[in-house]
Amino acid sequence: MQKGLVIRSTGSWYEIRNTDGHIFQGRLKGKFKLKDLKVTNPIAVGDWVLFEVEDEAENTAIITDIVPRENYIIRQSVHKTAHGHILAANLDQAVLLATLAMPRTSLGFIDRFLVSAESFRIPTTIVFNKADILNDEGMEYQQEIMDLYQSIGYKCLSTSATEGEGVDAFRQLLDHKVTLLSGHSGVGKSSLVNAIAPDLNLRTNEVSTFANKGVHTTTFAEMFELAPDTYIIDTPGIKELGLMDTSKEEVSHYFPEMRDRLNQCRFHNCLHFNEPGCAIKEAVAEGEIAESRYMSYLSMIEGVDNRR
Ligand code: GDP
Ligand code: ZN
C-alpha cells in the first residue's frame, strides 16, 4: 500500500505522484464506495489517496481509499438537482490573477470570485499584473483598489511578469503551498508562472498521453509542481468557481465587511435591499462599505436561486 497525491484526472484515470516522486496511472478499485457527497467524481486533483501498484512496468495502480479532505471546490451543475463536480481538493489558498490594464478584470468578477472562495473557506490573494503598462492615473487607481481589498482583509500584490516587478513576492506567496491559480485568460498567468518556474512551461505540459486519449480535458483541473512542496492548480476553461450551496440570506456572510454588521439590521432575515433599518445600506451611505462591493452583492443575490 502506498500513499500519493492526485495531480491530474480525466474522470476515469488518475495520475498519482507518490511520496518518492514516482508517477502512476491509477483507477478506482471496482467496489470503491463513493462517500456520501452529491458529486459526479469521487476523486479530484489535490486528493491524497491510498493505492496498490498493479503493474510495475506499466506504472499502473489501483486506488483503494481516499484520505479525508481539508476542503474542496466544487462546480455546481446548472441544473440544481444534478450532481456537482469537484474541481480540486486540499487547497491552502487561492490566487486570483487580475489586471487593471488589458484585458481589464472587472470588480464584479473579482467580488464573485472572492465570495466563492469565502464560501469554500479558502484564503485568497489578489494579484494585479501588468502594472508596467499603467500610466500614473492607472497606478493611482490600482492603489485605490488594492487599498479597498486590503481594508477588507485580502492580501494584494502588484506585479509585472514582463518587467519582473513583484515576481519574488509572487514566488514567496506560493512557496510550500497548494494554490489554486485563477484568472481570465490573457491576464498573464503563464507569463507569471514561467517567470518563477521557467522549466515548467505551463502550456506545453498539459497533455498526458496515457490518460487523456480521446478525453476532453478542459473541464479537469491540473496540478503542477513548481518547487518541492509547491503546487499550483490550474482549472483551464473554468472562469468562475460557483458558490457552495447558498441561499440569498447567506450571501452577505461571504462579504467580510458585511459579516460583522449583519446583527445590526432591524430584520434578522434582511437582504439589505430596501428594508428599513438596514445597517448595511447605512454603512454604504456612510462610505464604510464600498459602493462597488454593494453593487456586486446586489447582482449576486439576484443570481442566487432560493429553491434548495
Ligand atoms: P494567460 O492567458 O493568463 O496565461 O496570459 P499570458 O501569460 O499568455 O499573457 C497574455 C499576454 O499578456 C502575453 O502577450 C504576455 O506577454 C502579456 N503579459 C503578461 N504579463 C504581462 C505584464 O506583466 N506586462 C505586460 N506588459 N504584458 C504582459
Ligand atoms: Zn440589512
246 or 140, which is more confident:
140
The verdict on 191 and 265 lying in the same domain is: no
Assess if residue 240 is contained within a domain.
Answer: no
Burial class (CB in 10 A: 0-12, 13-18, 19+), 15: buried
pLDDT for 147 equals 98
The verdict on 210 and 128 lying in the same domain is: yes
State which of 51, 86, 121 marks the end of a domain. 86
The verdict on 27 and 99 lying in the same domain is: no
The verdict on 208 and 258 lying in the same domain is: no
ipTM exceeding the 0.95 mark: yes
Neighbours of ion ligand 2 (CB under 5 A): 265, 270, 272, 278, 280
**pLDDT of residue 187 exceeding 80:** yes
Confirm or deny that 296 is annotated as ligand binding: no
216 or 196, which is more confident:
196
pLDDT for 86 equals 87
Specify the range with the lowest mean pLDDT, choosing from 29-33, 49-53, 182-186, 220-224: 29-33
Segments forming the whole domain that contains residue 33: 2-73+81-86
Assess if residue 22 is contained within a domain.
Answer: yes
Name the band, by pLDDT with cuts 50, 70 and 90, for residue 219: low
Assess if residue 243 is contained within a domain.
Answer: no
Question: How far is residue 241's CA from residue 243's CA, in Å, rounded to a whole number?
Answer: 7
The verdict on 200 and 295 lying in the same domain is: no
**pLDDT of residue 165 exceeding 80:** yes
State which of 41, 65, 86 marks the end of a domain. 86
State which of 210, 234, 258 marks the end of a domain. 234
Mean per-residue pLDDT, 156-163? 98
Confirm or deny that 130 is annotated as ligand binding: yes
Mean per-residue pLDDT, 179-197? 93
The verdict on 108 and 230 lying in the same domain is: yes
Establish whether residue 194 lines the binding site of ligand 1, counting it when its CB lies within 6 angstroms of any ligand atom. no
The verdict on 230 and 105 lying in the same domain is: yes
The verdict on 230 and 185 lying in the same domain is: yes
Specify the range with the lowest mean pLDDT, choosing from 88-92, 188-192, 221-225, 276-280: 221-225
Name the band, by pLDDT with cuts 50, 70 and 90, for residue 12: confident
Percent of the chain with pLDDT over 70: 84
The verdict on 8 and 126 lying in the same domain is: no
Confirm or deny that 242 is annotated as ligand binding: no
Assess if residue 242 is contained within a domain.
Answer: no
Please report, for the domain that includes residue 62, its CATH number: 2.40.50.140
The verdict on 216 and 119 lying in the same domain is: yes
The verdict on 227 and 264 lying in the same domain is: no
Assess if residue 239 is contained within a domain.
Answer: no
* Ligand 1 centroid from CA 41, angstroms: 33
Establish whether residue 77 lines the binding site of ligand 1, counting it when its CB lies within 6 angstroms of any ligand atom. no
* Ligand 1 centroid from CA 171, angstroms: 17
130 or 185, which is more confident:
130
**pLDDT of residue 96 exceeding 60:** yes
Pocket test residue of 129, 162, 163, 191 for ligand 1, highest count of atoms within 8 A of CB: 191
97 or 31, which is more confident:
97
Name the band, by pLDDT with cuts 50, 70 and 90, for residue 32: low
**pLDDT of residue 208 exceeding 50:** no
The total number of structural domains that make up the chain: 3
Name the band, by pLDDT with cuts 50, 70 and 90, for residue 234: confident
Assess if residue 308 is contained within a domain.
Answer: no
Assess if residue 262 is contained within a domain.
Answer: yes
pLDDT for 200 equals 76
The verdict on 220 and 128 lying in the same domain is: yes
Return the ligand 1 atom nearest residue 183 CA.
3
**pLDDT of residue 42 exceeding 90:** no
Assess if residue 180 is contained within a domain.
Answer: yes
pLDDT for 78 equals 62
**pLDDT of residue 235 exceeding 80:** no
Please report, for the domain that includes residue 291, its CATH number: 1.10.40.50
For the chain, the average pLDDT equals 88
* Ligand 1 centroid from CA 191, angstroms: 6
**pLDDT of residue 242 exceeding 70:** no
Mean per-residue pLDDT, 102-127? 95
Name the band, by pLDDT with cuts 50, 70 and 90, for residue 101: very high
Please report, for the domain that includes residue 228, its CATH number: 3.40.50.300
Confirm or deny that 189 is annotated as ligand binding: yes
